[in-house]
Amino acid sequence: MRAAVSIGITGRVPEADVRALAPRVEALGFDALWVNDVPHGDSLAALRAAASVTSSLRLATGVVPLDRRPVASLEFAGLPADRLTLGIGSGGAERPLALVREGLDELRTRTDAAIVVGALGPRMRRLAAERADGLLLNWLTPAAATEAMADLRRDAGTVRSGARRPRGILYVRTIADQAARPALEEEAARYAAVPAYAANFERQGVAAIDATLATADGLAAYDVVDELVLRAITPTGSLAELQRFVETVAEWIGPERDESTG
């Protein structure tokens, strides 16, 4: 694969499990460990645990909702800026563009970490292209991801001539065990019930489950992005299941992973 490949987990994974899992993710050659920031699940705390047991693995949040966690409340101690990617989003803010724009500016004064913006709609994606280090996409089919990447390059090119272009990163909910299919279907149904995501699926003309991955056969279609985050969906989210997930998808990718991340 040409895209770098990373692993994604939820912020509710216990820190002890993160410390056990992260070294294996690093040893298998994955590019980064991404942690969703969710209620009752602190992505930065989880990444701090991962940082303590790794040396080269990139660490990323996907994404911190700034309406719930303002920039001033974020603590970066124990997180190496040269390995850290801060994914931020608007959450349920009434003025989403303004919140993320102001958050970007404030974060630039507080950390040297890379900053990427999670975006569904065209205006937020354009903001990411113009101001951030990357665009974090979510719940897209390969065809929709191809279009989004073309838009990202176009929008970035209009204002960032000669500058390093922002990266395009795509989160894909993935199962490596058919026993996890009910959990995947439940996740897809949950997102399909959220109006913003429902509109996203309607624009693509697909069902939510169509934007997920269940076998190795679909991996190559995502070469269109710079980084593919395989967001682990397992039957119960246990450490043993997450470890099996990481080992299995490493086998899916095989030696091609070294070519993409080296």
- Chain segment 191-227, per-residue pLDDT in tens: 999 999 999 999 999 999 999 999 999 999 999 999 9
The pLDDT confidence band at residue 4, using thresholds 50, 70 and 90, is: very high
pLDDT digits (tens, 9 = 90+) for 126-184: 999 999 999 999 999 999 999 999 999 999 987 766 567 899 999 999 999 999 999 99
Q: How much is the pLDDT for 157?
A: 83
Q: How much is the pLDDT for 62?
A: 93
> Do residues 83 and 58 touch, judged by C-beta distance below 8 A?
yes
Angle at 6 between CA 72 and CA 86, to 5 degrees: 10
Delineate the domains of the chain, giving CATH numbers in brackets: 4-57+117-261 (3.20.20.30)
Question: Which of 97-104's residues contact partners 24+ apart within 8 Å by CB, and which partners?
Answer: 97/123, 97/124, 97/127, 99/66, 99/67, 100/66, 100/124, 100/127, 101/127, 101/131, 103/66, 103/70, 103/71, 104/131, 104/132
Q: How much is the pLDDT for 226?
A: 97
Q: How much is the pLDDT for 255?
A: 60
> Do residues 1 and 29 touch, judged by C-beta distance below 8 A?
no
Task: Tell me the C-alpha distance between 162 and 167, whole Å.
Answer: 15
3-state helix, strand, coil in the chain (%, to 5): 50, 20, 30
Mean pLDDT of the chain: 94
Chain centre to alpha carbon of residue 115: 12
pLDDT at 93 exceeding the cut of 80: yes
